Chain A
């Protein structure tokens, strides 16, 4: 076992200090050490995007980032998207437009969509489709996810 390294990560607005093995994956830091289980693991190989979180405002697949790489940075996960129980327009959109079924891809999908809307508040359908193309869904066929993002975009306009 390699020597542990001290890291400090601001996660969902709170500074968290930890000593971790250099090989610890960010997703395991988030899920197993911090207990934030909204971020899921679907493929272990950066294909599916279920583990998407925002690292310094950019979407990353946390199954392929080491926790130590996030040292001194800021992370946002699905748990911070709602504001004290009030759903974010994206979360509302997923609900209203039936943008989810089993819910397993949903947190990663919402994080990817949030990053998209932050850089492009008025995306076209094609831009939405490309914006979430790093995130796989096996249930919905994406059609209603696209509508959910459109719902949020118009609500946030």
Chain B
């Protein structure tokens, strides 16, 4: 723990020897391609497949009607809804899956797709979520009993008390903020190879899955295949960020095709398919209002949100939380009362609402509170740092009960803030800004002091489709003292092969090099819910520590037997048990492992292995302060990020190098969201951000150097004191960027700008304010 051990997985990756799904090639493998709707809302009049079927090399064409016969035209989403696998009757978003063609190779499949003719009759399109509940809005989901586009209403907190505080408050601040529709866009798209073996009755699916066990169970429940006959293998995954949590129609179609043909079938998305049809994120239309005293002390927070879920509510989140953990929206501040309500609606857009590098709507919440705090600061003409300091939850109040029902485990917000300000030289920057303003130059400083909530989660409240959100680890120590450890999680770049080996090494004293970590094969790994929501370290990391400790307990018995002393007379130090008072009399873990198979004490089972299913007692609450400095070009509206300091507190750290890597990456994704990215739709429901030409990913040229530092407030309930970190930079940074830009323009009366803050958007503001050059 605490060491920047170089990653074990890199040896294969730097040589191009990883095995991603598209690298899997099986004898007799056929290729599938999806046929998709060009319309956002249309009735399907006819699908003509004859010409395609006649083409040489074509093996099958599957339509919604075919799936209907097998009862598979619809599948459950991961959140109380269902979704069409292949459209029957009508399509509900552009690029929706309509038919699936299978051929001998990718080129033949593409040719056949061209020959499939689908006749549509266009229907009125609903794009604007604010119009979804209008009387004249088309009802999109006529398959549902409820004839409305309203999906859910969810609320938490004290409505009356909050309303009262807002009514009577000496000072109020309000912001209407849209967290635009984004896409995780991992560099590897989604895909699978489905291989049904008719001789054994076994189905093996290599799949880009962040949650292979959950997928296995759902395949069993939905397709009726006995779960022991399904093996999901998530091999190396080229980034996930939440995109690879759901089950997508392509996976189901490949499985159906393999069952039908008795051959392996590969299906790999193109980038456009990935951006246009798989799980989007955000699309939260939010209003926050704060009641405060004149001195800046906050009293109450009211949040109202309209959530656009697209055509199907395909959020992948804990079943009891329709808006995820959005009620962390009181953030780092000590509000006495709060109220939060969210309404979800359907529109003619791709389905989703997945947690993109975020523990279920925490990014939206952190953005909103950090934005409205700045609006309040402007209202009070107070420094945003001073306002935050005045309202931070004091460290002596932890564990802290938030007005919206969470118990924050630990925190020291002042410490992170102080370190960040010191590193960036806050007061000098403010002086510089003052000077620059006199000269008409535009420079801004943005602060974000976010609190996250991660590591879902405790079984009493957290499940996905009924399966409790524990996670697991199984460790086997071999006779020669080497070990293999398997978890229910699945890394997509996080480096578990190294960090989880470090945990075992720390707990058992076996060198990291001697420990193999394996994830993603449901035939071998213990059951778990997978990797997302920064849950791997809080859950599987904890399970790894606990399983190691179970092994240590057994090792102690064996050591006592070997040393002919009672267990009470033994002391542990990493790697060996020795006799109290006689440190030379000892047995190493390797000697003990050998004895576990060769010289077991009477009455003890042979072998040295353990499994642990860890149910976390609480979530963990990482936090930090980010400070961003921007300069704005008055001629072009271009915003340049001059500096960015990120101080994170994620509790105890397993591998500092990997933590910093996660922070660099998350900040870069935050930069993209703040300045470049949006999956927008035109009024006909045509997706506008459907390729990398219009859904921009920053290159090395636009990306600044990130400055990172840490404070350390361990989690009191996690066995290693760790909290999880992968998502903090993506959660905390959008507000820092936006706050910086708004700060640069605040003297002109600008209070808020919606993301993405493009040069065009900024230039329009500059022009309106008469300061464009």
Residues of A within 8 A of B (CB): 1, 21, 23-24, 28, 31-32, 35-45, 47-48, 50, 77-79, 81-82, 87, 91-92, 94-96, 98, 100-107, 110, 128-130, 132-146
Q: Which B residues, 691 to 708, have Cβ-Cβ distances below 8 Å to chain A?
A: 691-693, 697, 699-701, 703, 705-706
Nearest CB in chain A to that of B667: its residue: A141
In whole Å, how far is B14's beta carbon from the nearest beta carbon of chain A? 4
- What size tier do the contact residues of chain B reach? 35 or more
Cross-chain contact A130 with B701 (CB below 8 angstroms): yes
Q: Which of B271, B691, B693 interacts with A42 by CB under 8 Å?
A: B271
Q: Which of B11, B16, B668, B693 interacts with A37 by CB under 8 Å?
A: B16
Question: In the complex, which of the residues B9, B236, B661 has the most CB atoms of chain A within 10 Å of its own CB atom?
Answer: B661
In whole Å, how far is A120's beta carbon from the nearest beta carbon of chain B? 15
Cross-chain contact B107 with A103 (CB below 8 angstroms): no
The 7 tightest CB contacts between A and B, nearest first, are A38-B16, A104-B238, A103-B13, A102-B493, A78-B16, A141-B664, A101-B493
Chain B residues with CB under 8 Å of A35's CB are: 25
Q: Is B227 an interface residue (CB 8 A)?
A: no
Cross-chain contact B692 with A103 (CB below 8 angstroms): no
- Can you report 28 residue pairs joining A to B where beta carbons are below 8 Å apart? A24-B107, A36-B16, A38-B15, A38-B16, A42-B189, A44-B270, A44-B272, A45-B272, A48-B692, A95-B11, A102-B239, A102-B492, A102-B493, A103-B18, A104-B20, A107-B16, A132-B699, A133-B701, A137-B187, A138-B185, A140-B661, A141-B664, A141-B667, A141-B668, A141-B706, A143-B703, A143-B706, A146-B700
Nearest CB in chain B to that of A110: its residue: B14
| Contacts A130-B701, A136-B692, A142-B668 given; does A38 touch B17 at CB 8 Å | yes
| Contacts A37-B16, A41-B22, A47-B693 given; does A101 touch B236 at CB 8 Å | no
- CB-defined interface of B690-734 with A at 8 Å, one 1/0 digit per residue? 011100010111010110000000000000000000000000000
Cross-chain contact B669 with A138 (CB below 8 angstroms): yes
Chain A residues with CB under 8 Å of B56's CB are: 1
Determine the distance from Cα of A40 to Cα of B16 in the docked complex, in whole angstroms.
9
Chain A residues with CB under 8 Å of B495's CB are: 101
Nearest CB in chain B to that of A107: its residue: B16
Chain B residues with CB under 8 Å of A128's CB are: 700
In whole Å, how far is A113's beta carbon from the nearest beta carbon of chain B? 11
Cross-chain contact B187 with A79 (CB below 8 angstroms): no
Cross-chain contact B16 with A79 (CB below 8 angstroms): yes
Q: Is B164 an interface residue (CB 8 A)?
A: no
Nearest CB in chain A to that of B184: its residue: A138
Q: Please give 18 more A-B residue pairs, beta carbons under 8 A apart, in addition to A38-B15, A95-B11, A139-B187.
A: A1-B56, A24-B107, A37-B16, A37-B25, A40-B187, A42-B189, A43-B271, A47-B691, A100-B14, A101-B239, A101-B493, A110-B14, A138-B669, A139-B665, A141-B667, A142-B703, A143-B705, A143-B706
In whole Å, how far is B673's beta carbon from the nearest beta carbon of chain A? 12
| Contacts A95-B7, A101-B493 given; does A106 touch B665 at CB 8 Å | no
Cross-chain contact B657 with A98 (CB below 8 angstroms): yes
Cross-chain contact A103 with B9 (CB below 8 angstroms): yes
Question: In the complex, which of the residues B11, B667, B700 has the most CB atoms of chain A within 10 Å of its own CB atom?
Answer: B700
Cross-chain contact A42 with B7 (CB below 8 angstroms): no
In whole Å, how far is B167's beta carbon from the nearest beta carbon of chain A? 45
Q: Which B residues, 484 to 529, have Cβ-Cβ distances below 8 Å to chain A?
A: 492-495
In whole Å, how far is A95's beta carbon from the nearest beta carbon of chain B? 4
Q: Which of B661, B692, B700 interacts with A45 by CB under 8 Å?
A: B692
Determine the distance from Cα of A143 to Cα of B106 in the docked complex, in whole angstroms.
37
Cross-chain contact A42 with B187 (CB below 8 angstroms): yes
Chain B residues with CB under 8 Å of A104's CB are: 18, 20, 186-188, 238-239
Cross-chain contact A87 with B14 (CB below 8 angstroms): yes
Determine the distance from Cα of A23 to Cα of B669 in the docked complex, in whole angstroms.
35
Chain A residues with CB under 8 Å of B662's CB are: 101
Chain A residues with CB under 8 Å of B7's CB are: 95, 98
Q: Is B658 an interface residue (CB 8 A)?
A: yes
In whole Å, how far is A34's beta carbon from the nearest beta carbon of chain B? 12
Give the tally of cross-chain contacts (CB within 8 A).
179
Nearest CB in chain A to that of B108: its residue: A1
Cross-chain contact A136 with B697 (CB below 8 angstroms): yes
Chain B residues with CB under 8 Å of A137's CB are: 187
Determine the distance from Cα of A128 to Cα of B699 in the docked complex, in whole angstroms.
12
Question: In the complex, which of the residues B18, B19, B268, B658 has the most CB atoms of chain A within 10 Å of its own CB atom?
Answer: B18
Determine the distance from Cα of A103 to Cα of B240 in the docked complex, in whole angstroms.
12
- CB-defined interface of B19-46 with A at 8 Å, one 1/0 digit per residue? 1101101000000000000000000000
Cross-chain contact B701 with A129 (CB below 8 angstroms): yes
Q: Is B368 an interface residue (CB 8 A)?
A: no
| Contacts A38-B16, A104-B188 given; does A98 touch B236 at CB 8 Å | no
Residues of B within 8 A of A (CB): 6-7, 9-20, 22-23, 25, 56, 105-107, 185-189, 236-239, 241, 268, 270-272, 492-495, 657-658, 660-662, 664-665, 667-669, 691-693, 697, 699-701, 703, 705-706
Nearest CB in chain B to that of A95: its residue: B10
Cross-chain contact A48 with B667 (CB below 8 angstroms): no
Cross-chain contact A145 with B692 (CB below 8 angstroms): no
Determine the distance from Cα of A47 to Cα of B494 in the docked complex, in whole angstroms.
24
Cross-chain contact A101 with B187 (CB below 8 angstroms): no
Chain B residues with CB under 8 Å of A1's CB are: 56
In whole Å, how far is A134's beta carbon from the nearest beta carbon of chain B? 8
Cross-chain contact B23 with A37 (CB below 8 angstroms): yes
Cross-chain contact B271 with A45 (CB below 8 angstroms): yes
Nearest CB in chain B to that of A77: its residue: B16
Cross-chain contact B699 with A44 (CB below 8 angstroms): no
Cross-chain contact A82 with B657 (CB below 8 angstroms): no
In whole Å, how far is B725's beta carbon from the nearest beta carbon of chain A? 13
Determine the distance from Cα of A129 to Cα of B495 in the docked complex, in whole angstroms.
25
In whole Å, how far is A148's beta carbon from the nearest beta carbon of chain B? 9
Nearest CB in chain A to that of B495: its residue: A101
In whole Å, how far is A141's beta carbon from the nearest beta carbon of chain B? 4
Cross-chain contact B692 with A141 (CB below 8 angstroms): no
Nearest CB in chain B to that of A82: its residue: B15
Chain A residues with CB under 8 Å of B23's CB are: 31, 37
Q: Which of A81, A101, A134, A136 interacts with B15 by CB under 8 Å?
A: A81
Nearest CB in chain A to that of B274: its residue: A43
Determine the distance from Cα of A92 to Cα of B14 in the docked complex, in whole angstroms.
8
In whole Å, how far is B617's beta carbon from the nearest beta carbon of chain A? 30
| Contacts A44-B270, A138-B239 given; does A101 touch B661 at CB 8 Å | yes
Cross-chain contact B692 with A102 (CB below 8 angstroms): no
Question: In the complex, which of the residues B16, B107, B662, B699 has the most CB atoms of chain A within 10 Å of its own CB atom?
Answer: B16
Nearest CB in chain A to that of B271: its residue: A43
Nearest CB in chain B to that of A131: its residue: B700
Chain B residues with CB under 8 Å of A36's CB are: 16
Determine the distance from Cα of A100 to Cα of B18 in the docked complex, in whole angstroms.
13
Question: In the complex, which of the residues B56, B187, B189, B668 has the most CB atoms of chain A within 10 Å of its own CB atom?
Answer: B187
Cross-chain contact A136 with B13 (CB below 8 angstroms): no
Question: In the complex, which of the residues B20, B241, B699, B703 has the most CB atoms of chain A within 10 Å of its own CB atom?
Answer: B699
| Contacts A95-B6, A102-B188 given; does A78 touch B107 at CB 8 Å | no
Chain B residues with CB under 8 Å of A92's CB are: 14
Cross-chain contact A138 with B14 (CB below 8 angstroms): no
Determine the distance from Cα of A110 to Cα of B241 in the docked complex, in whole angstroms.
23
Determine the distance from Cα of A76 to Cα of B361 in the docked complex, in whole angstroms.
44
Determine the distance from Cα of A128 to Cα of B705 in the docked complex, in whole angstroms.
13
| Contacts A47-B693, A82-B15, A141-B664 given; does A103 touch B236 at CB 8 Å | yes
Chain B residues with CB under 8 Å of A48's CB are: 187, 271, 692, 697
Determine the distance from Cα of A95 to Cα of B14 in the docked complex, in whole angstroms.
7
In whole Å, how far is B124's beta carbon from the nearest beta carbon of chain A? 32
Determine the distance from Cα of A39 to Cα of B669 in the docked complex, in whole angstroms.
24
Determine the distance from Cα of A79 to Cα of B15 in the docked complex, in whole angstroms.
6
Determine the distance from Cα of A91 to Cα of B188 in the docked complex, in whole angstroms.
21
Determine the distance from Cα of A136 to Cα of B186 in the docked complex, in whole angstroms.
10
Determine the distance from Cα of A96 to Cα of B706 in the docked complex, in whole angstroms.
19
Cross-chain contact B189 with A101 (CB below 8 angstroms): no
